[in-house]
Amino acid sequence: MAVILSLGLIIADHHYDHLGTVRSALSLVAYPLHYVVDLPAHMMRDTQGRLTNAAELRARNAALHRENLTLKARLQQFEALEAENMRLRDLLGSSFSVGERVLIAEIMSLDIAPYRQQVMINKGSRSGLFVGQPVLDANAVMGQVIQTNPFTSTVLLITDAEHALPVEINRNGLRSVAAGTGLSQELQLLHIPKNADVRVGDLLVTSGMGERFPPGYPVARIKTVRHDPDNPFITVLAEPTAALDRSREVLLVWTMDPVLQQQALSDTQGAEAPPRP
């Protein structure tokens, strides 16, 4: 009886999306547990913050101040470049908007979903998160939201074996798909022909083809290019530039316009990760 029930649950959860609301409601009940388990790590960081002495704080403040200055200087340049870029794109008739609303969330210290590359963050649908939303850290793309609960959400990292995202090589615009391998420091580029111009050290950026991730965000750096005689394609492995297993804070972006967002939402009803080619 219970076996039939659980088999039914497995099938229902795997094939259809009706259980999303049920799961979300149950997660609300599980929230206290998640909170309690996260608490020691949270308190540890808090205490660490309290125990740092004034000199250290002053030093860090100065460093941050310097960094802020450099970033601001770079931003001035960036704004000018962006305006110029937009002007040029207007000439070509293909303008798009860059950079929109951003929300900072914190990764909870929980080990959910063993053998998968997933994390839980402390912002949920109450803060306006939606399924399919891109998640970034200070350096690069980290993943996307796959489930939202009122106070928490689950993020599928780009290195998960079920995740793939459309990328292009920043140097020459060669497009490909970066699939996760299940290892936290490795992505694989799929279907790169033997004669393609791919070099170690090339930066991969999102191409925006899947209409899920905004174009132009860095993703990974190529670390090995291997020619296997028995394979019609070359094996290209890349290392994510995001500190996937070290970041504490993540950025959630709203870049897509509402129409695309609706589309993305309806797409996710069918499949959780963007389909591989």
Partner 1 sequence: MSETRPRGGWLIGLSLFVAFSLSILPMPLPAEALRPQWVAMVVVFWCLHTPERIGVFSAFASGVALDVISGTLLGQHALTLSLLAYLVVELHQRIRIFPMWQQTLFVWVLLLAERLLTLWVLGATGQPMPALSYWAPTFLGLIFWPWLSALLGDLGRRAGTL
Question: Under the rule (CB under 8 A), what is the footprint of partner 1?
Answer: 1-3, 5-10, 12-14, 19, 22-23, 26-27, 29-30, 33-34, 36-37, 41, 109-116, 118, 120, 147, 154, 160-162, 182
Q: How far is residue 102 CA from its own chain's centroid?
A: 13
Q: Please, which residue, 29 or 51, has the CB nearer to partner 1?
A: 29
- Give the integer Cα–Cα distance in Å for 63 and 144: 32
At its nearest, how many Å lie between partner 1 and the CB of residue 70?
A: 34
Residue whose entry in the numeric block shows the structure tokens 């609960």 = 149
Task: Considering the complex, state which of residue 170 and residue 181 has its C-beta at the smaller distance from partner 1.
Answer: 181
Q: Give whichever of 144 and 154 is closer to partner 1, judged by the CB atom.
A: 154
164-169 and 175-180 beta bridge pairing: antiparallel
Write down the least CB distance from residue 232 to partner 1, Å: 24
- Residue 24 or 139: the one with the smaller Cβ distance to partner 1 is 24
Distance, CA of 238 to CA of 244 (rounded, Å): 14
Name residue, tokens 């990764």: 107
Residue 115 has a CB neighbour count (10 Å cut-off) of: 8
The CB-of-77 to partner 1 minimum distance in angstroms stands at: 40
Confirm if 103 and 252 have CB atoms less than 8 A apart. yes
Minimum CB distance to partner 1, residue 276 (Å): 12
Of 162 and 239, the one with the shorter C-beta distance to partner 1 is 162
In one-letter notation, the amino acid at residue 129 is L
What are the respective helix, strand and coil percentages of the chain, to the nearest 5?
Answer: 35, 25, 35
Question: Smallest gap, in angstroms, from Cβ of residue 142 to partner 1?
Answer: 17
Taking the complex as a whole, how short is the minimal distance between the CB of residue 268 and partner 1, in angstroms? 16
* Half-sphere exposure (Cβ direction) of 170: Cα atoms closer than 13 Å: 15
Query: Which CB atom, from 154 or from 268, has the smaller least distance to partner 1?
Result: 154
The residue with tokens 């069918």 is: 270
Distance set, CA 37 to CA 40, 112, 174 (Å): 7, 11, 44
